[in-house]
Amino acid sequence: MTPAAAITSLSMLTCTVPAFPTQHARPIPVGDWEHIPATTNGEVAARLTAHGYAVLEGSGVPGPGPATCLAQVLGLGPAYIPPQYQGHAYMDDGGVTRITADATTAGHPAFGQTTSQPLHTDGTLQRIGEIKTTLMLCARPAASGGASQLFNAAGAFAALLNADPAAAAALTALEVLVRTSNLPDSHGQTSIGPAFAIADGRILSRYSVTSTDHYDPAAVASPAALDRALEFLRGTAQPGTSYYTEVTLTAGQVLLLANDTISHGRAPYQDSPAEPRTLYRALFTTSCAAMKQEA
């Protein structure tokens, strides 16, 4: 899939733009992680298509194995391992990352921190739309805080495109978003590309606003239009708007994200030293099987 860079009108879209619900639906029950019902696939696909995210809930001890079992049922295939993560203690052989504030994640600037994490798209060092799905399974929640903050970047971009096409066009410039890795052994690896694009009639996003993301005014025809676009997105990525919501996972719950349309961040949290917050995360270059059948 090679996405086009320019989006000039909402008429170019043939797929539904995700919209957050006014309140969260009940988590989809999956029962025992090793015996997940096949019907789970369709329920998850419906929520991902409509809202860009889905919450599931399983029984038993959550961990990297259950995350892999769920991925198999959803037809996601093997997890994608970013090259810069390979060989680190927080990454297992199956491509599942253990995210917790202990010595195993000390080499990652975000995984081992209890501070807030700004909105971002996973896999921003890869090309736009490559990492389609993010799976986060909660083994142990924080003592307090740690909510996942979700921003419907694709939906907000669609609204911007309708209200200010020139501003939206600035975010599709081929070199507008510059991401530089801050991992210790990445040697400052950089990825340059659009913040938004279109492929197969749907909006793709890699919208991120971390300290390693930079929007280059020299890459666009109108820096003023880029400023308007970024201000619009900052305004819509706020609590109280229809483009922002939060999910606080409990033990045994999974958050599935359409990573190529929904940006996410994390609120700060406080840990219990004896029982630190622990998530298992996996990235996939595919969407769940039922979504692929509908496309």
When the pLDDT of each residue in the chain is averaged and rounded to a whole number, the result is: 89
Query: Looking at residues 88-100, what average pLDDT do you find?
Result: 80
Domain spanning 19-294: CATH superfamily: Clavaminate synthase-like (3.60.130.10)
Q: Are strands 244-247 and 190-193 parallel, antiparallel or unpaired?
A: unpaired
Quickly state the pLDDT bin for 150 (edges 50, 70, 90): very high
What is the reported pTM? Answer: 0.92
Window from 18-27, 55-64, 101-110, 251-260 with minimum mean pLDDT: 101-110
Asked whether the predicted pLDDT for residue 14 surpasses 80, the reply is: no
- Measured CA to CA, the distance from residue 152 to residue 241 in angstroms comes to 10
Tokens of 277: 């917050």
Query: Looking at residues 135-152, what average pLDDT do you find?
Result: 96
Within 10 A of 192 (CB to CB), how many other CB atoms are there? Answer: 14
Asked whether the predicted pLDDT for residue 292 surpasses 70, the reply is: no
Q: State the pLDDT at residue 3.
A: 53
Q: State the pLDDT at residue 186.
A: 61
Q: 67 Cβ partners below 8 Å, 6+ apart?
A: 96, 135, 137, 254, 280, 282
